Amino acid sequence: MGNTDIANHFFIAGATRGFSGLGFTMVALPFSAHYVPVTVLVPILMLLELIGNGQMYPKIKRDVDWPWLTALIVPTVLFTALGVYLLKVLDQEYVVFAINVFILFSVIWINIGFTFKHHPGIKGHLMFGSVAGIMNGVAAMSGPSVSTYALALGMPMHVIRASLIMFFILADGIGFGFTVVNGLVSLNAVYLALLFYFPSLLGNKLGERLFLRFGNEKGKPFIIFLLGIISLTSIVQFLFALI
Protein backbone atom coordinates (compact mmCIF):
# COMPACT_ATOMS: atom_id res chain seq x y z
CA MET A 1 0.00 0.00 0.00
CA GLY A 2 1.20 3.58 -0.49
CA ASN A 3 2.92 5.12 -3.50
CA THR A 4 2.23 2.18 -5.85
CA ASP A 5 -1.49 2.25 -5.11
CA ILE A 6 -1.61 6.02 -5.45
CA ALA A 7 0.22 5.75 -8.79
CA ASN A 8 -2.40 3.27 -10.03
CA HIS A 9 -5.17 5.70 -9.12
CA PHE A 10 -3.34 8.53 -10.88
CA PHE A 11 -3.20 6.32 -14.00
CA ILE A 12 -6.97 5.78 -13.83
CA ALA A 13 -7.47 9.49 -13.14
CA GLY A 14 -5.37 10.38 -16.19
CA ALA A 15 -7.37 8.02 -18.40
CA THR A 16 -10.60 9.57 -17.13
CA ARG A 17 -9.33 13.07 -17.94
CA GLY A 18 -8.05 12.05 -21.38
CA PHE A 19 -11.42 10.60 -22.30
CA SER A 20 -13.85 13.14 -20.87
CA GLY A 21 -11.80 16.29 -20.21
CA LEU A 22 -12.50 16.14 -16.45
CA GLY A 23 -12.52 13.79 -13.48
CA PHE A 24 -8.78 13.71 -12.76
CA THR A 25 -9.03 15.17 -9.26
CA MET A 26 -12.34 13.44 -8.49
CA VAL A 27 -10.68 10.07 -9.04
CA ALA A 28 -7.26 10.85 -7.56
CA LEU A 29 -8.13 12.88 -4.45
CA PRO A 30 -10.49 10.64 -2.41
CA PHE A 31 -8.07 7.69 -2.33
CA SER A 32 -4.82 9.65 -2.16
CA ALA A 33 -6.09 11.66 0.82
CA HIS A 34 -5.71 8.50 2.94
CA TYR A 35 -1.93 8.78 2.48
CA VAL A 36 -1.19 12.44 1.76
CA PRO A 37 -2.67 15.51 3.55
CA VAL A 38 -5.20 17.38 1.42
CA THR A 39 -3.28 20.65 1.86
CA VAL A 40 -0.34 18.90 0.17
CA LEU A 41 -2.48 17.12 -2.43
CA VAL A 42 -4.31 20.15 -3.80
CA PRO A 43 -1.19 21.91 -5.19
CA ILE A 44 0.03 18.57 -6.60
CA LEU A 45 -3.28 17.97 -8.36
CA MET A 46 -3.37 21.51 -9.72
CA LEU A 47 0.15 21.14 -11.12
CA LEU A 48 -0.58 17.75 -12.70
CA GLU A 49 -3.86 19.07 -14.13
CA LEU A 50 -2.01 22.01 -15.64
CA ILE A 51 0.67 19.82 -17.23
CA GLY A 52 -1.67 17.04 -18.34
CA ASN A 53 -4.24 19.33 -19.91
CA GLY A 54 -1.51 21.48 -21.44
CA GLN A 55 -0.28 18.46 -23.39
CA MET A 56 -3.73 18.04 -24.95
CA TYR A 57 -4.10 21.72 -25.89
CA PRO A 58 -2.74 21.52 -29.48
CA LYS A 59 -5.35 18.89 -30.34
CA ILE A 60 -8.37 20.67 -28.88
CA LYS A 61 -7.75 24.41 -29.33
CA ARG A 62 -9.95 24.70 -32.43
CA ASP A 63 -12.96 23.19 -30.64
CA VAL A 64 -12.90 25.52 -27.60
CA ASP A 65 -15.91 27.81 -27.10
CA TRP A 66 -13.77 30.85 -26.33
CA PRO A 67 -16.55 33.40 -25.57
CA TRP A 68 -18.16 31.01 -23.05
CA LEU A 69 -14.80 30.14 -21.53
CA THR A 70 -13.66 33.75 -21.21
CA ALA A 71 -16.85 34.83 -19.42
CA LEU A 72 -16.66 31.83 -17.06
CA ILE A 73 -12.99 32.07 -16.08
CA VAL A 74 -13.27 35.57 -14.54
CA PRO A 75 -15.51 34.65 -11.55
CA THR A 76 -13.64 31.34 -11.26
CA VAL A 77 -10.32 33.11 -10.73
CA LEU A 78 -11.77 35.54 -8.20
CA PHE A 79 -13.38 32.80 -6.12
CA THR A 80 -10.36 30.49 -6.37
CA ALA A 81 -8.57 32.89 -4.04
CA LEU A 82 -11.40 32.45 -1.52
CA GLY A 83 -11.27 28.68 -1.94
CA VAL A 84 -7.53 28.53 -1.20
CA TYR A 85 -8.12 30.57 1.95
CA LEU A 86 -10.87 28.14 3.03
CA LEU A 87 -8.50 25.24 2.38
CA LYS A 88 -6.20 26.67 5.04
CA VAL A 89 -8.79 27.44 7.72
CA LEU A 90 -11.73 25.00 7.40
CA ASP A 91 -12.12 21.31 8.16
CA GLN A 92 -11.56 19.79 4.73
CA GLU A 93 -13.93 16.85 5.26
CA TYR A 94 -16.96 19.08 5.78
CA VAL A 95 -16.11 21.29 2.82
CA VAL A 96 -15.68 18.34 0.46
CA PHE A 97 -18.94 16.84 1.78
CA ALA A 98 -20.80 20.04 0.88
CA ILE A 99 -19.17 20.03 -2.55
CA ASN A 100 -20.20 16.43 -3.21
CA VAL A 101 -23.79 17.17 -2.22
CA PHE A 102 -23.77 19.97 -4.79
CA ILE A 103 -22.30 17.63 -7.41
CA LEU A 104 -24.93 14.96 -6.76
CA PHE A 105 -27.80 17.43 -7.07
CA SER A 106 -26.22 18.76 -10.25
CA VAL A 107 -26.09 15.25 -11.72
CA ILE A 108 -29.74 14.63 -10.85
CA TRP A 109 -30.57 17.99 -12.41
CA ILE A 110 -28.87 17.03 -15.67
CA ASN A 111 -29.96 13.38 -15.67
CA ILE A 112 -33.66 14.27 -15.64
CA GLY A 113 -33.01 16.04 -18.91
CA PHE A 114 -32.80 19.64 -17.74
CA THR A 115 -31.42 22.13 -20.21
CA PHE A 116 -31.68 25.90 -20.18
CA LYS A 117 -34.54 27.14 -22.37
CA HIS A 118 -32.71 30.42 -22.68
CA HIS A 119 -29.04 31.12 -22.14
CA PRO A 120 -28.70 32.41 -18.54
CA GLY A 121 -26.03 34.90 -19.61
CA ILE A 122 -23.99 36.69 -16.97
CA LYS A 123 -26.02 35.17 -14.10
CA GLY A 124 -25.10 31.66 -15.20
CA HIS A 125 -21.43 32.56 -15.58
CA LEU A 126 -21.35 34.13 -12.11
CA MET A 127 -23.17 31.28 -10.35
CA PHE A 128 -21.31 28.35 -11.89
CA GLY A 129 -18.00 30.22 -12.13
CA SER A 130 -18.02 31.20 -8.46
CA VAL A 131 -18.80 27.63 -7.34
CA ALA A 132 -16.09 26.32 -9.66
CA GLY A 133 -13.61 28.78 -8.16
CA ILE A 134 -14.35 27.81 -4.56
CA MET A 135 -14.17 24.12 -5.44
CA ASN A 136 -10.92 24.72 -7.30
CA GLY A 137 -9.27 26.43 -4.35
CA VAL A 138 -10.58 24.04 -1.71
CA ALA A 139 -10.05 20.73 -3.50
CA ALA A 140 -8.70 21.37 -7.05
CA MET A 141 -12.15 20.17 -8.17
CA SER A 142 -13.71 22.81 -10.42
CA GLY A 143 -14.88 20.34 -13.08
CA PRO A 144 -18.31 19.27 -11.77
CA SER A 145 -19.72 22.79 -11.70
CA VAL A 146 -18.40 23.72 -15.13
CA SER A 147 -19.35 20.43 -16.81
CA THR A 148 -22.86 20.64 -15.32
CA TYR A 149 -23.20 24.11 -16.80
CA ALA A 150 -21.96 23.01 -20.22
CA LEU A 151 -24.27 19.98 -20.33
CA ALA A 152 -27.29 22.10 -19.34
CA LEU A 153 -26.48 24.47 -22.19
CA GLY A 154 -26.62 21.55 -24.63
CA MET A 155 -23.11 22.06 -25.95
CA PRO A 156 -21.72 19.32 -28.25
CA MET A 157 -19.53 16.75 -26.51
CA HIS A 158 -16.35 17.61 -28.43
CA VAL A 159 -16.84 21.29 -27.55
CA ILE A 160 -17.47 20.45 -23.87
CA ARG A 161 -14.31 18.33 -23.72
CA ALA A 162 -12.14 20.94 -25.43
CA SER A 163 -13.54 23.85 -23.40
CA LEU A 164 -13.09 21.94 -20.12
CA ILE A 165 -9.47 21.13 -20.94
CA MET A 166 -8.74 24.79 -21.70
CA PHE A 167 -10.65 25.87 -18.60
CA PHE A 168 -8.50 23.63 -16.40
CA ILE A 169 -5.30 24.96 -17.95
CA LEU A 170 -6.29 28.47 -16.90
CA ALA A 171 -7.99 27.67 -13.57
CA ASP A 172 -5.31 25.29 -12.31
CA GLY A 173 -2.45 27.49 -13.45
CA ILE A 174 -3.86 30.43 -11.52
CA GLY A 175 -4.92 28.21 -8.62
CA PHE A 176 -1.42 26.78 -8.29
CA GLY A 177 -0.10 30.33 -8.14
CA PHE A 178 -2.47 31.07 -5.24
CA THR A 179 -1.25 27.98 -3.35
CA VAL A 180 2.36 29.13 -3.79
CA VAL A 181 1.51 32.59 -2.44
CA ASN A 182 -0.28 31.00 0.54
CA GLY A 183 2.73 28.82 1.39
CA LEU A 184 1.09 25.48 0.56
CA VAL A 185 3.76 24.28 -1.90
CA SER A 186 6.72 22.40 -0.42
CA LEU A 187 9.64 20.40 -1.84
CA ASN A 188 7.76 17.25 -0.84
CA ALA A 189 4.79 18.36 -2.95
CA VAL A 190 7.07 18.90 -5.97
CA TYR A 191 8.65 15.46 -5.44
CA LEU A 192 5.24 13.76 -5.27
CA ALA A 193 4.06 15.65 -8.36
CA LEU A 194 7.05 14.32 -10.31
CA LEU A 195 6.49 10.81 -8.93
CA PHE A 196 2.87 10.65 -10.05
CA TYR A 197 3.33 12.56 -13.32
CA PHE A 198 4.23 9.54 -15.47
CA PRO A 199 1.32 7.28 -14.49
CA SER A 200 -1.08 10.16 -15.08
CA LEU A 201 0.57 10.82 -18.47
CA LEU A 202 0.15 7.20 -19.55
CA GLY A 203 -3.47 7.31 -18.44
CA ASN A 204 -3.93 10.52 -20.41
CA LYS A 205 -2.76 8.84 -23.61
CA LEU A 206 -5.10 5.89 -23.09
CA GLY A 207 -8.05 8.19 -22.42
CA GLU A 208 -7.38 10.23 -25.56
CA ARG A 209 -7.41 7.08 -27.67
CA LEU A 210 -10.65 5.93 -26.10
CA PHE A 211 -12.24 9.32 -26.82
CA LEU A 212 -11.23 9.17 -30.49
CA ARG A 213 -12.95 5.79 -30.72
CA PHE A 214 -16.01 6.23 -28.49
CA GLY A 215 -16.13 9.86 -27.28
CA ASN A 216 -18.89 11.54 -29.25
CA GLU A 217 -21.25 8.57 -28.67
CA LYS A 218 -20.40 7.73 -25.05
CA GLY A 219 -19.02 11.00 -23.71
CA LYS A 220 -22.08 12.64 -22.12
CA PRO A 221 -23.42 9.49 -20.37
CA PHE A 222 -19.91 8.78 -19.11
CA ILE A 223 -19.54 12.25 -17.57
CA ILE A 224 -22.95 12.01 -15.87
CA PHE A 225 -22.22 8.52 -14.53
CA LEU A 226 -18.74 9.55 -13.35
CA LEU A 227 -19.97 12.62 -11.47
CA GLY A 228 -22.82 10.72 -9.86
CA ILE A 229 -20.94 7.65 -8.66
CA ILE A 230 -17.98 9.58 -7.24
CA SER A 231 -20.08 12.18 -5.43
CA LEU A 232 -22.43 9.53 -3.99
CA THR A 233 -19.49 7.38 -2.84
CA SER A 234 -17.84 10.34 -1.13
CA ILE A 235 -21.08 11.29 0.65
CA VAL A 236 -21.61 7.73 1.91
CA GLN A 237 -18.00 7.51 3.13
CA PHE A 238 -18.39 10.79 5.00
CA LEU A 239 -21.64 9.71 6.67
CA PHE A 240 -20.20 6.35 7.73
CA ALA A 241 -17.19 8.15 9.23
CA LEU A 242 -19.60 10.06 11.50
CA ILE A 243 -21.16 6.87 12.88
pLDDT of residue 108: 80
The alpha carbon of residue 31 and the mean position of all alpha carbons in its chain are separated, in whole angstroms, by 15
Measured CA to CA, the distance from residue 63 to residue 199 in angstroms comes to 27
Measured CA to CA, the distance from residue 36 to residue 43 in angstroms comes to 12
CA-based nearest residue to 24, from 2, 36, 42:
42
CA-based nearest residue to 18, from 41, 52, 48, 44:
52
Measured CA to CA, the distance from residue 94 to residue 170 in angstroms comes to 27
The alpha carbon of residue 66 and the mean position of all alpha carbons in its chain are separated, in whole angstroms, by 19
Asked whether 12 and 202 are in contact (CB, 8 A), the reply is: no
pLDDT of residue 173: 93
Rg over CA atoms, the chain? 16
Q: What is the mean pLDDT of each run of 10 residues along the chain (243 residues)?
A: 77 86 78 81 90 90 94 94 88 74 74 76 91 88 84 86 92 92 88 90 90 71 74 79 73
CA-based nearest residue to 82, from 26, 136, 141, 145:
136
pLDDT of residue 219: 67
Residues 6+ apart with CB under 8 A from 227: 23, 26, 103, 106, 107, 144, 147, 148
- String of DSSP letters for 185-239: --HHHHHHHHHHHHHHHHHHHHHHHHHHHHHHHHHHHHHHHHHHHHHHHHHHHHH
Q: How many CB atoms are closer than 10 A to CB 121?
A: 10
3-state secondary structure of 116: coil
Please tell me the pTM assigned to this model: 0.79
Asked whether 32 and 172 are in contact (CB, 8 A), the reply is: no
Measured CA to CA, the distance from residue 14 to residue 178 in angstroms comes to 24
Measured CA to CA, the distance from residue 107 to residue 137 in angstroms comes to 21
Asked whether 41 and 70 are in contact (CB, 8 A), the reply is: no
CA-based nearest residue to 168, from 201, 203, 136, 210:
136
Asked whether 133 and 150 are in contact (CB, 8 A), the reply is: no
pLDDT of residue 113: 66
